[in-house]
Structure 1
Amino acid sequence: MINETNEAVMVVDHEGKIQSASLPSCRIFQETESSMINKSIRLWSGILWDELEKVEYSGNIQVKIHDHDVDVIVQTVIEGGFKDRYVLYLQVKDRSQTPIHTNYSFSNIIGTSLAVERTKRLAERVAPSETTILLRGESGTGKEVFAQSIHAASRRSDQPFIAINCAAIPEALLESELFGYDSGAFTGANQKGKLGKFEVAKGGTIFLDEVGDMPLSLQAKLLRLLQERKFERVGGTMSIDVDVRIIAATHQDLDVLVQQGKFRQDLFFRLNVIQLVIPSLRDRIDDLPLLTESFLKEYSLRQGGRSKHFTEEAWLLLQQYDWPGNIRELKNVIAHATQIEVGDQLTVDSLPVALRKGYKNVVATPTHASEKERLLELLDQYGRHTAAKKQIAYELNMSLPTLYRRLKKHGVK
């Protein structure tokens, strides 16, 4: 979870050793993850460790790291009655006071498939409005890219775009991150208090990523904010007016969470004014060539501009793969392949092990003719009903939707 978040989060054990660190947190320390893991936090800040040891349950610490004033929110994890580890959420003060703008616009959304074009057109249509939007889609499909694009095309484009991952921040800290706190709100709190994300995003857009993971207690406070456009800071009594557009996103089925009592139905209705379903890579597989070409160019430039390409066998394997991690996984696969392959050709051996598991199935059917023959053979063997096709898909190491695409390609009914 921490490795995937866009937030600066670290986990430090009771001895001060760093157990995990997100990429943004490593950047604050000007280090790589590998150079920090299992090392003592004292190597970078003895003061931070001294203050950490004083925190009983939760607190706020201000330290200076590489000439930057850093605000560190701390949550202790208690096991067996003792402090086992600390979860640190870091923010660079001098940067966080600057409005954060978007890196993406609709022109950055790559693809010409019907699935992505339909979603993109709807997003462009609702972007100029003030309507609350709910983005739904699997992890790695690019929900934040759509959120930033909507903001960039809105009337609020010259105001902040603030993103927060509701799943990446401990429950005890999420409320103060979203709504801020007044001085003396809790032990270790900044004496001056702190602005929450809703205040930092004033006039702009707040992106609530993984909103399905928000605790029920905070869902009630968010609902009130949506209804009354007001909220109070943690430990405060004064109502603060809200002027933000809300875009929420989740990879979960909120309808199911509502039925299970894990998500408020009234909040779901408030967020689900406009719903955009971001298609999985499996559902827009026709975009694979464009996406692959774009990422190959990106990583080629990073590595000195040397152009690289996939061999026919490797490309066939990419086409067959189900991409459970979607575009994020594709980008990581291409980064992996371009970095480990010295030559210009990216072969099957350049790909991660997870993809190479399907290699035998690929080489077993190298041509369209033999693939069609193999499909017909399996249909005769198992039958043509849905259960039979599931068995065929399993034997060919592909998903059922992929099998249906192959059957359609070869005109097999």
Structure 2
Amino acid sequence: MPEVPSLLRRALRWSRRIAAVLISFCAVVGAVRLIAPATPGGPAGEPPGVRRQLAFLRGALDAGAAGDAQALFPEGYFFLHVLYGLTWVELGLRVPGETRAEALREARWALERLDTPPGRAPFSADLVPEYGVFYRGWCNWLRGGVLSLQPAGRRDAGESRRFAADSAALAEAFDASPSPYLEAYPGQAWPVDSTVAMASLRLHDTLEPPRHAATVARWLELVRERLDPSTGLLPHRAAPGTGEPEEVARGSSQSMIQRFLPDIDPGFAAGQYLRFRDRYVVTPLGLGPAVREYPSGMDGPGDVDSGPLPLGVSLSATAVTLGAAQVHGDAALAGALARYGELAGLPVGTPWTKRYAFGLMPIGDAFLAWSKTARPWTATGPLEPPPASVPWWWRLPLLALLAVLGAAPWLPALRRRARAAR
């Protein structure tokens, strides 16, 4: 019988050692993720792991993930497909034209899924333009991306005609509206949706003979007259018909607005981005950059767009701001957000796929993959990067914390050995 306690003690001792090894291993992996590059080395570079993310997302879409996302929020089905397609466009634009077949095929597949009853289900056909500015703007942006993947002289004629017609319908709706913000749903207007649509008109004028410069100029003038008075940014929500601000600028929409504004007007975008970064990008507990849902000094409730707000931070806004930072040339912030995401996002990778948060929320993977590949689509030259706001030492507190976590399981054994050596 004395052997039983001895066996138990040995089992406990080995279980403690295994746990210590696992904790230390996780700490080392976390440190590596904080140090290793997580963004492309330049505008033409491909972000690490994005193709494997797309492989995971395609499998999830084939297994019904879009329907699951739709159950979580009204645009779940739509966003999962459109971001999948846009990420393929981004990757396709980074390779020579003759090697873009896969990107073109997958982007077209995503676009076709949007042009179906499930893709249009949340939106009203009675709006102007039909199905509202959210649906028409994002579809137009993706359709322009599909055309961007094709050589200028050999673009699909049907796709070109559809792009021109949808762009004209959007421009006509904007020209006829006293507000710069069209309705996405009956009686509801969010400036971010009109920003996407306006960027698609600029994309049209980049790919095709220009037709919408006056519409874009008028839109910018109306926007400047209707900024959120407390932040100087585009508001989160606006009054239908007038465009007057109805809700303070919020991180979940600002992060996306900042992603698209450089494709509309780089000069206006630069000032807006600095305002956004100064008021919304924070370092909670000193442990890395994140994005608040409400401006510093203001708190408010979360919703389906922002998600939960621990310490006032929106995880969705933080992920999308990575893309906004890249588009603005803010390499320091983009790199910090990407590396922090590699640590906190709990990525799980195989040689074929990669997913974050154990793949429990594919919509989050879609936003992150799209953000990691973000670049301007209409700019004729590199944007002037903003002054860096992230100090070089931002990782040191996190690395110190990981060092403590990695060493802590071994401290009792080290103390015992030290006492025995006396």
Range class of TM-score, shorter chain: under 0.3
More strand by share: 1
Under a length normalisation based on structure 1, what TM-score does the superposition of the two structures give?
0.26
Report the TM-score, using the length of structure 2 for normalisation. 0.26
More helix by proportion, 1 or 2? 2
Give the number of the structure with larger relative contact order, counting CA–CA contacts within 8 Å between residues 6 or more apart.
2
